[in-house]
Amino acid sequence: MLLQRIARLAYNAVSLLILARYLGPAVFGELSYALSLAAIVVVLIMIVADTVLVRELVNEEHEPSEVLSTGFALRAVASLLMTLVVAALALVGDLSEQARHYQLVISLTVLFKAFTVIEVHFQAMVRSKYIAIANSLQAIVSLILILVFVMFELPPRQVAWLFVCDAAMLGAAQSVVLVRHGGPGISWVRPAWRLSRRMMVASLPLLLSSISVVLYVRVDQVMLMHLSTASELGRFTVAARTSEILYFIPAAITASYYPSMLRALDDSGEALYRQGRRLLAVLLALSVLTSVSLSISAHFGVELVFGPAYQESAGILSVLAFSFIFVCIGSVMTTISIVLGNEYQVLYRTMIGALINIVLNWLFIPHYGAMAAAWTSLVSYAMSGYLLLLLFRQDRHLFHLVPSAIRQSINGSLFR
C-alpha cells in the first residue's frame, strides 16, 4: 500500500506541474474548479465506508460475493446520482463555456468510483500488493498520456478527458486484479438490501467526518471560482496542491504508531500520553523545519518550477506552508482520540473547522482573493487540529500535550 500511495503522490505532483505550466493560471483554475467540485461529491458516494466493508468481509457473517455486490450496488447508484448532480450544476451555474465543458466531462469520472470496493476486498484479504501494483502501473500510464498530450500540444479544451481516462483505467485495472486474484467463489450476486441498510447506518459518522474533511480541503477552491477569478483559483491551486504533498508524511507516521498506542492504552493511560508526546515532539520538529524552509524558498521555487505566470502563488504558498504544522498536530490528536474512543470529538472538531473555513472565505475572498483563502485555510487547520481541543472537556488534557512536546523537542529528548 505504501508503494501505491507513493506512486499516486508522484503522479499527482508531476501532473500538477505539467498541466499548470501548459494551461496557464486561468485555464488551470477552470479545470481545478471542476476537479474540486467532483472531489467534494465523490465523498457522498462512500455511503458505505471502507472500514465497514472490511469489517463485514472479515466477520464472514455474509458471503464475500454478497458483501462486495451490495457495496458495489450502493456505490454505483450513488455514483450515477452524483454524476447527474455535477452535470446539472454545470448547466445551471454561472460559468464560462470552457469551465462548463470541463465540469461536464469531469463529472464522468465520478461514475467509476464504485469500483473502489474491489480495493477494499483485497485489504480485507491482506493481499493489497496486487491492487498496489495495478494502481501504480495505471498511474504511470496516466502520466504518459499527460506527457503525450503536452508534447503534441493538443487543445487545452480536451484536457479534462485525461482524467476520465485515468478513472476508467483505474477501474479496469482493479477489475482485472479481482478476476485474476480475487480468490475462490468471488462473483457478482444479487445485493442484500438488509445488509445494505446496516452498513449505511454504521457508515454515517464516518461519512459525516469525510464530508467535513473534504469541505475544508476543497471548498475554498470552489468558492474562489465564484467569489474571485479563475486566474486567482489557478494560482491558489498550485500553492495548495504543493503544500498538500507534505500531508502524506504525518498520516504515514501516525498510522505506523497506531498499534503501539493501542497496546500502551492497555498498559496504562500515562504510557499512551508519553508515546503521543514523543510522536508529537518528532512531528513538531519536522513540521516547523519543513514549513520554514518551504516558506523561505517559495518565492524562488514557485517561479522556477511553475513559471513566471504563477509568481503570485509564492506568497500564497508561504502562508499555506505553516498549515503543515497544524496538520501534524491534528494527525496525532486524532489518533489519540480514536484510541481513547472519542471519535465523535474528532468529527465535531472537523465539522466546526470546515464551517469556520466557509464563513471566513465568504467574508474575505471577495476583497483579498487567493491570499484570503490561504489565511482562512491556515486558521481552519489551526482550529480543527489544535485550538478546538479546548472546546470539549474530554479533549482539554490533549491541548497541553503540545507545550510539553515543544519543551521535549527543544531539550533534545525526542527518543528518551
Q: Which cell is 282 given?
A: 518528532
Structure confidence at residue 48 (pLDDT): 82
DSSP string, 360-390: HHHHHHHHHHHHHHHHHHHHHHHHHHTGGGG
Structure confidence at residue 415 (pLDDT): 46
Structure confidence at residue 187 (pLDDT): 55
Residue-wise pLDDT tens digits, 202-223: 888 878 888 888 887 899 999 9
Cα distances from 84 to residues 77, 80, 105, 252, in angstroms, run: 11, 6, 11, 35
Q: If you ran DSSP here, which 8-state letter would residue 48 be given?
A: S
Mean pLDDT value across the chain: 88
CA dihedral 268, 382, 306, 371 (to 10 degrees): 180
Please report which confidence band the pLDDT of residue 189 belongs to, taking 50, 70 and 90 as the band edges.
Answer: low
- If you average pLDDT over residues 362-377, what whole number do you get? 96
375 versus 129: the higher-pLDDT residue is 375
Say yes or no to pLDDT of 185 above 60. no
Rounded (10°) angle between helices 2-45 and 193-227: 90
Cα distances from 101 to residues 25, 108, 116, 163, 394, in angstroms, run: 17, 12, 26, 13, 48
Q: Which cell is 91 given?
A: 448547466
Structure confidence at residue 321 (pLDDT): 96
CA 149 to chain centre: 26
The H or E element containing residue 246 is none
Structure confidence at residue 49 (pLDDT): 77
CB atoms within 10 A of CB 27: 22
d(C-alpha 365, C-alpha 234), whole Å = 14
CA 341 to chain centre: 23
Please report which confidence band the pLDDT of residue 107 belongs to, taking 50, 70 and 90 as the band edges.
Answer: very high
Please report which confidence band the pLDDT of residue 81 belongs to, taking 50, 70 and 90 as the band edges.
Answer: very high
Structure confidence at residue 184 (pLDDT): 44
Q: What value, to the nearest 5°, has the Cα angle with vertex 105 and ends 101 and 111?
A: 155
Structure confidence at residue 410 (pLDDT): 77
183 phi, psi to nearest 5 deg: 95, 165
Residue-wise pLDDT tens digits, 232-246: 999 999 999 999 989
Residue-wise pLDDT tens digits, 6-51: 777 888 889 989 999 999 999 999 999 999 999 999 998 888 878 7
Structure confidence at residue 413 (pLDDT): 52
Q: What value, to the nearest 5°, has the Cα angle with vertex 44 and ends 240 and 218?
A: 15
Q: What value, to the nearest 5°, has the Cα angle with vertex 336 and ends 288 and 359?
A: 65
d(C-alpha 206, C-alpha 338), whole Å = 12
Residue-wise pLDDT tens digits, 314-361: 999 999 999 999 999 999 998 888 888 887 888 899 999 999 999 999
The verdict on pTM exceeding 0.75 is yes
Cβ partners under 8 Å of residue 139, min gap 6: 7, 8, 10, 11
Structure confidence at residue 289 (pLDDT): 95
Nearest to 349 by CA among 311, 319, 314, 390: 390
Residue-wise pLDDT tens digits, 140-170: 999 999 999 999 999 999 999 999 999 999 9
Q: Which cell is 358 given?
A: 466557509
Say yes or no to pLDDT of 412 above 90. no
CA 69 to chain centre: 26
Q: What value, to the nearest 5°, has the Cα angle with vertex 391 and ends 390 and 394?
A: 80
Share of the chain above pLDDT 70, in %: 94
Cα distances from 61 to residues 43, 197, 329, in angstroms, run: 27, 15, 38
Structure confidence at residue 1 (pLDDT): 58
Cβ partners under 8 Å of residue 321, min gap 6: 243, 290, 291, 292, 294, 295, 298
Say yes or no to pLDDT of 201 above 80. yes
d(C-alpha 16, C-alpha 10), whole Å = 10
Please report which confidence band the pLDDT of residue 268 belongs to, taking 50, 70 and 90 as the band edges.
Answer: low
d(C-alpha 58, C-alpha 146), whole Å = 39
d(C-alpha 377, C-alpha 12), whole Å = 21
CB atoms within 10 A of CB 407: 12
300 phi, psi to nearest 5 deg: -80, -45
d(C-alpha 178, C-alpha 83), whole Å = 25
